[in-house]
Amino acid sequence: MSDDNTIRIPPGATGWGASTPPAPTVRHGYPLAVRDHGLATAISLLMQSLPYALARFGILLGCAVACIIWIVVAFGGAAWLGTHIAGAFGFVWLMLCLVGAGFIWGTILRYVLHLLACGHVAVLTELITRGQVGNGSESMLAYGRRVVTERFGEVNALYGLNLMVRGILAAFHRTLDWIGEVLPIPGLEGIASLANIILRAATRYLDKVILSYNLARADEEPWRGAREGMVYYAQNAVPILKTAVWIVILERMLTVVLWLLLLAPAAAITWMLPRAVHESAGIVTILVAAILAGPLRAAFLKPLFLIMMMVRFHALIENQPINQEWDARLAAISDKFRDLGTRAMAGFAGVPATPPHA
């Protein structure tokens, strides 16, 4: 590490200390039935776990419709109260609607989607490591619900762990000076915004990847698994970020294609609306297509990229020991990572660890 606290990785290495002799033992050990992290494999795994995508789509579509109704009620009600009673009443009504919507989305809905995503991760982990779900005697939804129920404490910890993981990785990413090496297009390495998009894509799914890592190892200590997962991410940052580049490209391309495909059904829905809407049919069609595209993108496209990242992670760390140099370097650059180590030791000793607040 140089004096400017910048971490540099030698060309061709998968992580710091790639030439260092590996530790004699690897703490984790589980089989892998899937090692290919390509789009075709991700689509196949998504189709095998389709009930979760459909459930997520149903919830998000219902939320999109509720959002439209909320906009009418909130702003329409505020305008009516402001016109017929007093402007202050309209303002208060709008604030109450905003607070209510924020509570429902930020507390209830996000948590429900988190539980659903954890169940999906449990099913995907089984498919990636064993090629099948459970012993075949229960449905995928039932299996995921059982795993989430049995590991409810870990699932709840993961809900709070998300921001902590992102904070640690943000500190790690600030030390990187080789992001240009993973960009496939010459001359783009200087575009900070593109680099940030790639780094966000790499970390967006890492909390779920860590859950998958713990499930694959049957480890019930989330803090230790989270610490190891981030060390493994740092050790394999170059190949993981290269996967993130293609995730960013695919996400943008498939989102545009999805929106274009939805323009035709959106136009049909627009013409089914009252005639007064037809005067602005073009704008309404675009908005309807966007409203439909949001749930579809979240339910089907994002899980594809989660699967790609999960498979890539599991394949990279197979038979790979923890590099203690990377553990020490992450501890040196992040207070939250050191705190995670304290929680891991407390959990290993059987002392309850307080869930993180950030």
57-61, 104-108, 263-267, 305-309: which has the highest mean pLDDT?
Answer: 305-309
Strand partners, 351: none
Q: pLDDT category, 270, cuts 50, 70, 90?
A: confident
Q: H-type helices in the chain, by residue range?
A: 39-48, 50-84, 87-103, 110-129, 140-150, 152-173, 192-204, 206-217, 222-235, 237-272, 275-278, 281-296, 302-317, 324-333, 335-348
Instruction: Give the Cα separation of 182 and 194 in Å (integer).
Output: 12
Q: pLDDT category, 346, cuts 50, 70, 90?
A: low
Q: pLDDT category, 23, cuts 50, 70, 90?
A: very low
Instruction: Give the Cα separation of 174 and 332 in Å (integer).
Output: 13
pLDDT greater than 60 at residue 172? yes
Answering whether pTM is above 0.95, one says no
Amino acid code (one letter) for 20: T
pLDDT greater than 90 at residue 352? no
Q: Name the least confident of 43-47, 233-237, 258-262, 337-341.
A: 337-341
Question: Of all residues in the chain, what percent carry a pLDDT higher than 90?
Answer: 13
125's CB contacts (< 8 A; 6+ apart) are 212, 215, 216, 310
Residue with the larger pLDDT of the pair 340 and 343: 340
Contact 200, 244 (CB under 8 A): no
Rounded average pLDDT over 309-334: 88
Please provide residue 273's backbone torsions phi and psi, each rounded to the nearest 5 degrees: -80, 170
Q: What is the pLDDT of residue 311?
A: 95
Q: What is the pLDDT of residue 106?
A: 64
